[in-house]
Structure formats: C-alpha cells, structure tokens
Amino acid sequence: MNARRWVPLLAGLAVLVLLAAAPGIFSAFMIQFLINLFMMTILAESWNIIGGFTGYTSFGNAAFFGIGAYTTGVLVTRAGLPFAAALPAGGALAMLFGVAVGVPVLRLKGQYFAIATLGIGETMREVVYNLEVTGAGTGLVMPISRSPLSFFYLMLAILAGATLVNWWLSASRFGYGLIAIREDEDAAGAMGINAPLYKTIAFALSGTFAGLAGGVFAYWITFIDPDAVFKMSTTVQMIIMAVFGGSGTVLGPLLGAFLLSSVSEVLATQLATLAELFYGVIIVLVVLFMPKGLFDLIRRREFSFKYFARNLRENRI
C-alpha cells in the first residue's frame, strides 16, 4: 500500500480531531445541530453502501433506523438494560434484519427491489403500531440523559465508523466486488464474485449503521413513536443527500448531507413543511440536471451551463 492512499485517512483523522474539539467552541444550539448533521450523514453513508456502491436502490432504509431506535428504546425502558448495552443490540438487530430480509429481497432486480424495500419500511411501521411491547401507536418515553455531550461523541464515533467503511469500500477487493455487481451483475458473477453473499453483507452493513444512528436518536430525542422513526421522508433524505453529493463515492454523501442538512435546518426553523418541500424540489432538480452528483461536477471542474444541458439531453425521450 503506497503513501498516497493514507492521505485521505489522515485528512479524515484531522477533521475528526477538529470536530471532537467542537463542544468547547460552539453553543449548545450548534451542538444539537451538529448531532443532527452527524446523524443525517451516517444515514446518507449507510444508504450509499447499498444504493451507491452496490446499485440496489433501497427505499426502505428507514426500517433499519426504526428498528435500531425501537430495539434500544424497548431494551432500556422495558428490560431496564443500560444504554451502553442496548445500543449495540439495536445495531445488531438491524444487521440481522438486513440479512434476514436481504436474502430474499436482494434476489429482486431494479424496480421490484425498490418497491419491495418501500413495502418493508411501511410494513415495519404498521407492525410496530400493532405491538404491545413497543407502546403501539403512543410510542416510548426514554429516560432523560444527564450528559447531552455523550450523544455528540457517540454520533461522531458512528459517523467515523461509517466513513471508514465507505472509504474501505472505495479501495478494497470487497468494495470493487460491489461496484462490479452494480455495473453488471451477471458479469460479476462470471468473474467469480459471490453476488448474493456480497449484496447481503452490503445490505447488512448499511442496516447496522442506520440502526446504530436510530439507537442514539431514540435516547437523544427521548421520545419515539412509529411515525417519527419509520418515516418515509427519512429514507428520502438519505437517498437525496447521497445522490446530491454523488452516490457511490466516499465524499459525496458527506458533502450532500452537510449542504442539504444545513439548508433544511434553516428552513425548518421557519416551517417544517418548507424543509420537506425543499427536499422535493431538490430531488427533481438533481435528477434532471446533475444525476451524478456534486462530486462529479467538482471532479470534472466543468462549472458551466453545458454540463447541466448535457445531463438533461442524455435521458430525454
């Protein structure tokens, strides 16, 4: 391994150290904003593993988030487990769910996979609505933690892990396998890649990070109900952040999450509906004008009208 490959890792480490020092500098409001930003970034990166690298557009990743949140919530409130034990359990269950659901669903291609995952997300919400242990429709109230800073560091740690995994995927045999599956699954299979195994691992990895983020979210926000954690708009946000930045890249989701979270945070202070509307408009514009994402635009250094016009022409009837 040559020295060049370590440059991004070192740069990442530097950013991490800077961020870790943030609580000493910023106000409490900023910290809350950063926690939310970290969470959205984790989700965008988690989606990127299955949707970006592997090319399987999951429309149900909010299910993982919800499972993580509810597992943590139920274990803390009903079983009296400490948060430190409940959170990993949430991540683990989300991972198991990824494997259990992934095995049958990842056999589906394209639109069938997308809709099946959409259905899974909605089914999970309905199931939780009907379960006693999860507090059904009323939700769960978590004990209030005394140290809000712990959420900051937890989210940051998970974010670092998710970024590391994305980076690893972009430069490893396993990651290349996923990209090969995205480009041409039959050919990948012919080259000796065990596609079902690879896809399932990718889906489970994606689920683990979303689940962990959900677990921290539950304890941070202290109240969860099915509508809040199994939101379709959570899935939409993950996807659009990843695609806006550039799906299938390491920096893309980071960039997308940072930019979109910031804008939507500002808009949400005006009106929550406005923030969602903004996402909708961004989705339409991004798909039309820069489907390869900001990262591609920056890499090509083609900041001209021509770039957008070419994208627009490419997929016209």
Partner 1 sequence: MLVLQVLVNGILLGGLYGIMAIGMSLIYGVLRIVNIAHGALIMLGAYITFWTFTLWGWDPFLSLPVTILLLFAVGYLVQRCILNLIVRAALYLTLLITFGIEVVMVNLARIAWTSDLRQTAPAYVAANFSVGGLTIPYVRLWVFATTVVLSVLFLLLMERTRLGRAIRATAQELRAARLTGIPVGQIFAVTFGLGAALAGAAGAMWGVLFPITPILGRALTLKSFVVAVLGGLGTMMGAIVGGLVLGLAEAFTATFIGPTYPNAISFGLLVLILIVRPTGVLGRGEGR
**Which stretches of the chain bind partner 1, using CB under 8 A?**
51, 55, 57, 59, 104-105, 107-112, 114-116, 118-120, 122-123, 126-127, 129-130, 232-233, 236, 239-240, 243, 273-274, 276-277, 279-284, 287-288, 291, 312, 314-317
Q: CB count, 10 Å around CB of 307?
A: 17
The nearest distance, CB 160 to partner 1, in angstroms, is 28
User: Which lies closer to partner 1 via its Cβ, residue 160 or residue 247?
Assistant: 247
Using the minimum distance from each CB to partner 1, give the nearer residue, 207 or 215: 207
Minimum distance from residue 30 beta carbon to partner 1 (Å): 27
Question: Considering the complex, what minimum distance in angstroms separates the CB of residue 52 from partner 1?
Answer: 10
Q: How far is CA 60 from the centre of its chain?
A: 11
Considering the complex, state which of residue 265 and residue 276 has its C-beta at the smaller distance from partner 1.
Answer: 276
Least distance to partner 1 from the beta carbon of 218, Å? 22
User: Is the distance from CB of 51 to CB of 239 less than 8 angstroms?
Assistant: yes
Nearer to partner 1, 5 or 109 (CB): 109
**Shortest spacing between CB 314 and partner 1, in angstroms:** 8
Three-state DSSP class for residue 25:
helix
How many angstroms separate the CA atoms of 286 and 308, rounded? 10
Sign of CA dihedral 163, 167, 172, 176: positive
Q: Which two tokens stand for residue 203?
A: 């889906």
Please answer whether residues 31 and 148 qualify as being in contact, where contact means their C-beta atoms are separated by less than 8 angstroms: yes
Of 5 and 310, nearer to partner 1 (C-beta) is 310
By C-beta, is 81 or 96 nearer to partner 1? 96
Q: How far is the CB of 285 from partner 1 (least distance, A)?
A: 8
Neighbours of 47 (CB within 10 A): 29
Residue of 185, 242, 214 whose CA lies nearest to 57: 242
Contact 87, 215 (CB under 8 A): yes
Phi–psi pair at 109, nearest 5 degrees? -110, 155
